[in-house]
Structure formats: structure tokens, C-alpha cells
Amino acid sequence: MQKNRFTSLTIKQANTVTTVVILVFVIIFAYLLIKENYQDYEKALYRQEHSVADYGDTQKQLKRLLIKNTLAIVTLSFILFAIMLGLYKIFYALIQNDMHVFLNFFKNAAHREALLSPDEIFFKEFKEMVLYANEMVKTINQQKLSLKEINLILEKKVQKKTLYLEQANAKLLQEKKFSEEILAAQKEFLRYTVHETNTPLSVILTSIELYEMKNKKDRQLSKIEAAAKNIFNIYDDLSYLVKKDQVPYPKVSIELVSYLSMRIEFFRDVAHLSKIDFKYSSDLDKVYIYFNETKLQRIVDNTITNAIKYTLPEETVFLHVKQTGADVMFSVSSKSKIIKDPEKIFDAYYRENDNVKGFGLGLQLVKNICEEDNVSIDIVSTDKLTTFEYKFKMMGE
């Protein structure tokens, strides 16, 4: 605590303390001299008391001498105090002047670049400090100039970069606008193409059916019919992709067993041309699910066509329906090459077998529909069978 008081002492406070200390020393000095003078007086008085007859006159003389010496001591003490105090005040004024010069210099150093002149300082030690202070100011000014130059360079670079970014942004906006126009035109073309494709496909399939009713079924005509059905499946995918964000797809009650039987019959000729058979079985006579028919058709048709594409020749595609608790399981199994990465087959444009034609969009469409309607997909692929299994919620559960 005492240390903190001294470290926070001001020069003015130090000046007051010093003045008091000098006064105390002068008083002590005068007191000691007066005390010694009084002792000498008592000794002289004692000697005169035993040796001189006229003791009274001598005593008066000694007392006058004591008073005179005491006054002289007090006077000299105050003169000494005045001299010491005057010298100290001069010394203090010189130090204070040097301190004020330094304080004013440091106060103004942040706003002006003027240096401190050694002629303004009295003490030699402070003159040495002037050299260091001026050197510090020069260094600071050089650094300020360097910072200004760096700021100017950075400002130019920022302006240049900003101009470049503005130009790049304008170019990107133009490219974005162009891309949006292309995308809009592409969507419009796709919408028009899908719309215009429906009529000729329907005419082809209807004509084939009418021809088969009047004439014997021909292999070449079966190939045309299978190809038309494949195109019809692609048309349905494109139609769904074009309309899915614009047209609502309400859910209805669907009897799954008969619905699957109908879709299997639709693709049976396509499977026969690929030398593949269908074997459909169900543990249930009837089972209902609450689902949108268009979305269900996309799941079923893409799974069946995918099985036809990848099943090995002369093999059978097994389709099965069963109930597990409150769920209805629909599975498609066949012997094919092992699927190396079951997760990736749902990615757009991904195909594990490059020899099989297609865009790889069908299974991605299936996955998106299943995620939207909480239908789980399970894929198991071994050297014996590859199985796709879909789990639907049974209606009423």
C-alpha cells in the first residue's frame, strides 16, 4: 500500500514534501545549536559562580550573550533555509520546465511531425533523451508514410478487384439470364414434345391391338409393340417430371395385387423379347394401399423395366406381394450381375453396366417418390439374386 502511494506521487506533491523536509532539518539544526549554546551558558555561569565576586553583573552579561547568540542562530537558520529553498526552487523550476517541454512534445507528436530542439532543454540527461525522442518520432513518421503508401496500393487493388467483380457479376447475371431462358425453352420444348408424343404412341399401341385381334400375332409386330411400350414408359417418366411441380397428385385407394398383375401383363411381351419370364405370386388375395396411382405406376414400371434390362437371359423375374404387420411388401427379384454400389444406382445418370442403354433417371425418380411418400426401399444383391423390395403402408393402418 505504501509503495503504491509513492509510485503515484506527483512533482508538485514531491515539491511540497521536500520543502517540509528542508524546514524540519533547519529547525532541528537551529535547535541543536541553541541547545549547545545554552549548555555553554550554563557552564560559564557555573564557573563564574565559584571564581568571581561580582556574580550578578557577570550573570547579566552571560544572559545577554545567550539571547544574542540564540537570535543569531535563528536568523542564520532562516537565512540558510531561505537559501536552500531558493536553490531547490530554481532546480525544481528547471526540471519542471524540461518536463513541460517533453509533455507538450509527446502530446503534439501524434498530430504534427515537428522535432524537439535540444536547446529547449536545460539538463544534460534530458538532452540525451531528446535524441531518442526525435528518433522515435522519425521512425513513427516513416512508418506512417509506409502505411499511407500501403493503404493507397491496397485501395487501388480493392478498386481494381471491385471493378473486376462487378464485371464478372454482370457477366454471370447475363449467363444466368441466358441459362434461364435456355432452361425455360427446354422445359417448354419438353412439355410440347411430351404432349405431342402421347397421341402417336396411343395410336401405335391401339393399332397393334386391333391388328392382333384380326390377324395372327407376328414376332416383328411383337418387337414393335415392346419398343412402343418402352417408349410409353419413358413418356410417362417425362410426363411426370414435367408436371410434378405444377399438377397435384392426390392419393386414392388402390388394390395392389390386381394393379401389379395389370402392369406385369403390360410388360410381359417386352420381357419375352428379352428371353425373360415373369413369375408373379401373392400371399394375399386383395390388399389396399392409399397412394397416388401415377406415382405408384412410376415405381412399378421403372422397377420392372430395370429388371428386364439387367436380368440375365433365359432367367425369371420373380414378383411377390406379402404382408408384414401393418405393411405391404412388394419385391422384384432376378438373377443379374451383382450390384457393386446399391446407393449409387439411385443417382442420376449412374449406370453400373455401360452396355445397357438408358439415362439412369428411372431409379432416381423412384427414390424421390419413395422419399416423398415414406416408402422404404431395400436392395439385396448376391451372385444368386438381386432383390428390390418396397414397403408400403396398408390402407386403414
Tell me the pLDDT tens digit for each residue of 118-171: 777 777 777 777 777 777 777 877 888 888 889 989 999 999 999 999 999 988
Beta strands 386-393; 376-381: pairing state = antiparallel
Q: What percent of the chain has pLDDT over 90?
A: 23
Check pLDDT > 50 for residue 49. yes
What is residue 9's predicted lDDT score, i.e. its pLDDT?
Answer: 56
Rounded distance, CA 20 to CA 240, Å?
104
pLDDT tens per residue, range 331-360 = 999 999 888 888 788 876 666 665 554 445
User: Burial code of 156-165, b = ≥16 C-beta within 10 A, e = fewer?
Assistant: eeeeeeeeee
Q: Is 360 left (phi over 0), alpha (psi -120 to 50) or beta?
A: left
pLDDT of 172-215, one tens digit each?
988 888 877 776 666 666 565 655 565 566 667 677 767 667 77
pLDDT surpassing 70 at residue 50: no
pLDDT at residue 1 in the model: 45
Is the per-residue pLDDT at 280 higher than 90? yes
Lowest-pLDDT range of 46-50, 123-127, 269-273, 328-332: 46-50
Cell of 167: 464485371
Residue 219: pLDDT band with limits 50, 70, 90: low
Q: 75 pLDDT exceeds 80? A: yes
Q: What pLDDT does residue 374 have?
A: 93
Handedness of CA 380, 381, 384, 386 (dihedral sign): positive
Distance CA 96, CA 11 (A): 8
- Average pLDDT of the chain, as a whole number: 79
What pLDDT score does 186 carry? 63
Lowest mean pLDDT among 78-87, 297-306, 308-317, 319-328: 78-87
Q: Give me the pLDDT at residue 71, please.
A: 82
Higher-scoring residue by pLDDT: 335, 245:
335
Most confident of 6-20, 62-76, 98-112: 62-76
Q: Using a cut of 0.75, tell me whether the model's pTM lies above it.
A: no
* DSSP letters for 267-303: HHHHHHHTT-EEEEEES-S--EEEE-HHHHHHHHHHH
Residue 261: the pLDDT is 94
Residue 337 is placed in which grid cell? 450381375
